[in-house]
Structure formats: C-alpha cells, structure tokens
Amino acid sequence: MVNVSFLDLLIETITSVFTNGVRSKEVVRHLDFLAYRSLNIILICVSFAAAVTILEASHHMKLVLHNDSLVPGFASMLIVRELAVVVMSLLLAAKIGAGIAAEIGQMKISEQIDALRLLGINPVNFLITPRVIACLIGGVLLSLIANAVCLLAAALVTTVNLDQSMGFFLVAFRRFVDSRDLIFSVMKGVTFCGLIPLVSGYFGFNCSPGAEGVGRATTKSVVSSSIAIIVLDFILTFIFSNFY
C-alpha cells in the first residue's frame, strides 16, 4: 500500500462519514475500549493530579501571601480549564494511540490493508472512521467525568489538609468557574480525542516493514499525539481567552 499523507487521511475520514455511513456496532466497540476500559486509569491519575495541585498551591501561597484561602478558587479554575482534560487526553494518547498505530501497522506489513482494498473495502472507512467517531463521543463523556472527579478530589484534599469546609470550596468554585469554562473544556476534550486516532492511523498506514517498523510507528504516534495535544491546548486556550 502506498503511504498516505495526514491531510489525505483527514479528508478521507470526513468524507467517508457522509458517503459510506457509520457502522454503529464498531463505534460502540471502540467506545467501550476508549471510555469504559480506560476510565479507571484516568480517574486515578486526575485525582492525584488534583491533590498535588491543591497541596502545591497551598504551600506556595502560604509562603508568599501567608494565606491559602484563594487556593480552592484558583485550583478549580485550573482544573476545569486545563488540568483534567489535558491529563485525560495525554493518557488516552498513550493507551489508545499506541494500540491503534500498532494494529494498523501490523495490518499493513502483513498486507491485510491491501487485501481490504482488493475486496472493495475502504481501509480508512473500515479502520479509522469508527475510531474517530468513538473518540469524539468519548471525548465529551470523559471530559465531563474527568472534571467532576478531579474537582471532587480537590474538594476532599481541601477539606482534609487545608482545614476548609466543603461549602467554602463550592463557594470558591462558583466564583472562579462559570459555564463557559466547562464548555471550553469539553471542546478541548473532543478536539484532543478526535486527533488521537488520526495521528495514530497516519503512522500505522505509513509503517515500515518488520517488527521494528511497527515499534517505531507506535512510538512516533504516542509522541506526536502528545505534542499535538500540548500545542493545540495552547492554541485553543489563546482563542478561548478572547471570550472572557
């Protein structure tokens, strides 16, 4: 199979949704792997990230301001705008992205993708489109869940270690965070998650022959997805800052 460019892959994925339809069973299967089977590691990581954020912010505010009463508000804003969705997306880039690149790369070097074309099956529609749709849906669900769990963990750490009540945390949260923050956070999650199968599929389709080629494609997919998420996060944050 001839190597494909990322732009061609993106265009073909978008057009295949409208021309070939969506295979709902495949979308559900990939959504189960993306969301449900990844939920435990996401919840654990975002919870500890929230705890570290609260503790570090409290420590430095006490050093500079001798008062940590603003920690819940600032931490809530950081969690909703950046922390929860970025940590979630980077974890998915490592877990989901590596699997997609390895699977498609193995299919390429074993000539299964060429076999699909001989059977009249579009490999992009068969392999990429269901994963992209599942990732878009999962991005919404996981962004909301990650934010909720991250905020809950932050509230518990605030109550236990900062000697502040849960009610105080909620008041600070309402003052520093509004509905726009949650909407922008979900938009980031959808964008990041939708990007992962495209980047991973690109490296899978352009995989070099042999086991070493599959390993290299897997590594490149994880690294490239992570870099793309960080860069896109900066771009989206800059754009969204104009709406406040």
pLDDT tens string 122-132: 888 889 999 99
Helices 129-161 and 71-78: angle between axes, nearest 10 degrees: 170
Long-range contacts of 51-58 (CB under 8 A, 24+ apart): 51/153, 51/154, 51/157, 53/78, 53/79, 53/83, 53/154, 54/154, 54/157, 54/158, 54/161, 54/162, 55/157, 55/161, 58/161, 58/162
| Length, in residues, of the chain | 244
pLDDT value of residue 23: 78
The pLDDT of residue 2 is 52
Distance CA 105, CA 102 (A): 5
Residues of the chain where predicted confidence (pLDDT) is lower than 50: 1
Those residues whose C-beta lies under 8 Å from the C-beta of residue 170, and which sit 6 or more positions away, are 155
As a whole number, the mean pLDDT across the chain is 90
pLDDT, one tens digit per residue, over 15-41 is 887 887 777 888 898 888 888 888 999
CA dihedral 26, 30, 36, 39 (to 10 degrees): -170
